[in-house]
Amino acid sequence: MNTNGRPAGDDLAKRFETAFMPTYGVPPVALARGEGARVWDADGGEYLDLIGGIAVSSLGHAHPALVEAVSRQVAVLAHTSNLFINEPAVLLAERLIGLLGVPARVFLTNSGTEANEAALKMALKYGRSTGRTYVVAAENAFHGRTLGALSLTGKRAIRDQFGPFPTDVRFVPYGDADALRDAVTAECAAVFLEPTQGEAGVVPPPAGYFRAARRICDATGALLVADEIQSAIGRTGHWFAHQHEGILPDVLTLAKGLGGGMPIGACVGVGPAGTIFAKGDHGSTFGGNPVSAAAALAVLDTIDADGLLEHVQTVGAQLAGGIAAIGHPLLAGVRGRGLWLAIVLTADRAAQVQAAAQRAGFLVNAVQPGAVRLAPPLVITPGQAAAFVAALPAILDEAAE
C-alpha cells in the first residue's frame, strides 16, 4: 500500500501508462524484488516466476554469484568503451569460444537485436564479395525490433508498417526442409533460423531440420546463422540448442539468458565467418561492457559448477511430463525441451490462463492466443515445478469458464 491507501501496483500502473509510449500495454504486475525463482510484487504478493523475464533470468533473482560479480566489477571499473581492453570481456569471448569448441571470433553487444544486426551486416558483406543478393528467413520467426533484425522477422503484424526494407529477405515455412532447399540458391548470402521458434510459441522444427539446413548451406555456400538468443545458455539442457542436432552454424547470436538479467548479447562467427568483419566495419560503445561481461561469466561459471544443464534436463522433463499427464478439455499438450515449454491449448484462452495463473501465484506468458510459454529460471527446484503442475488443473478450469 502507498500512504494514500491505494495498492502501490495500481499507482505504478497509472504512472506507467502516462509516462511511457504505449508500445506494451500496461503490464499486469509491478515486480519489486525476487529470490531464486520467486518474485514479489509492489504490494508484497508472492509469485513463482515461470517466465524468468522472457528466458533471461537464468540464475533466478538475486543469485549470490551474480550479485557478487556485478558488485565487484562495478566497484572497480564500470565501463571502458571499445577504445580500451577490459579483461572480463576478453574472458567472456574466450569462454564462449571454449563452449563451442572450435575456432571462432566474438562481437559483444547489449541486446539480442543488436547481435542479429551484426550477423546481418556480416551476411551482407559476405554477399557483396561473393555475388549473393538475398537472405532467407522463416515465416513467424522473431529476430528483433531494430530495422535490420525486423526485416528478418517473419511476422507481418510487426514488420509490414515499417517496410519496405533495404535487404531482400525471402521467407520460407519453418521446419520445411524442401522449401528451404528450393529457396537457397548460389545467390543466397545467409539463412537465419531459430533452433526452436520462441516468440511463435516455442515451436520446435521436425528432427533433422537443422542438419538439412546445414547441408543446404554447405551445398550453396550460404552462411547458416542460428539465432540462439532465446534457446542457448542451458535453456534446453545444452549450452546451445543447435547441439541437439550435432551441427555447427557459421554464425550464432546470443543474448537473453547470457547475462542472467544484465544486458549483453553476442554475435559469434565460427571459423572463416569470424573474420568477415574487418577493422572499422562495426562497433558499439557499450558492447562488451565489463559489468555485463562479469555477469555473463558468473552465469556460465554457475551453470557449470552447479550442474545446471543436467538439472534443466531433469526438471524440464518433470515439468513437461507432469503437464502432459493432466487430462483437461482446455489442454491439447505440451511442446518444447528443457525448461522452455509451451502449454498448448485447445482454444484461444492463453490470456485467461495467464491471468488465472497470476491469481494463483504463478507468472506465465501468453505467448500466442492458444499457447502459454514457460521459461523459468534454470535454478527452479523440482518442488516448485511440482507446485505449478499441481495448481494447473484449477488454473485451466478458471481459464475455461
Rounded distance between C-alpha atoms, residue 124 and residue 295, angstroms: 32
Smallest separation, CB 274 to ligand PLP (Å): 21
Q: 360: Cβ–Cβ under 8 A, 6 or more apart, which residues?
A: 391, 394, 395, 398
Residue whose CB is less far from ligand PLP, 41 or 227: 227
Q: Is 53 in the site for ligand PLP (CB under 6 A)?
A: no
Q: Which residue from 52, 144, 234, 370 is in contact with ligand PLP, where contact means CB under 6 A?
A: 144
Phi, psi of 354 (to 5 degrees): -60, -45
Residue whose CB is less far from ligand PLP, 9 or 52: 52
Residue whose CB is less far from ligand PLP, 9 or 259: 259
Q: Which residue from 12, 138, 212, 229 is in contact with ligand PLP, where contact means CB under 6 A?
A: 229
Look up cell 526442409; give the residue: 177
Cα of first residue to Cα of last residue in the chain, in angstroms, is 31
Residues annotated as catalytic are 142, 227, 256
Smallest separation, CB 243 to ligand PLP (Å): 17
Listed residue (156, 48, 166) closest to 117, CA to CA: 166
Smallest separation, CB 109 to ligand PLP (Å): 9
Report 251-290 residues binding ligand PLP (CB under 6 A): 255-256
Q: If you write DSSP's letter for every residue of 335-377 in order, what string do you get?
A: EEETTEEEEEESSS-HHHHHHHHHHTTEE-EEEETTEEEE---
**Interhelix angle 308-324/382-400, nearest 10 degrees:** 30
Report 69-128 residues binding ligand PLP (CB under 6 A): 111-113, 116
253 labelled ligand-binding:
no
Helices within 77-166 (DSSP H only): 87-100, 112-130, 147-152, 156-159
Report 368-397 residues binding ligand PLP (CB under 6 A): none
Candidates 119-127, 138-146, 157-165, 178-186; binding stretch for ligand PLP (CB under 6 A): 138-146
Interacting residues toward ligand PLP by CB under 6 A? 111-113, 116, 142-144, 194, 198-199, 227, 229-230, 255-256
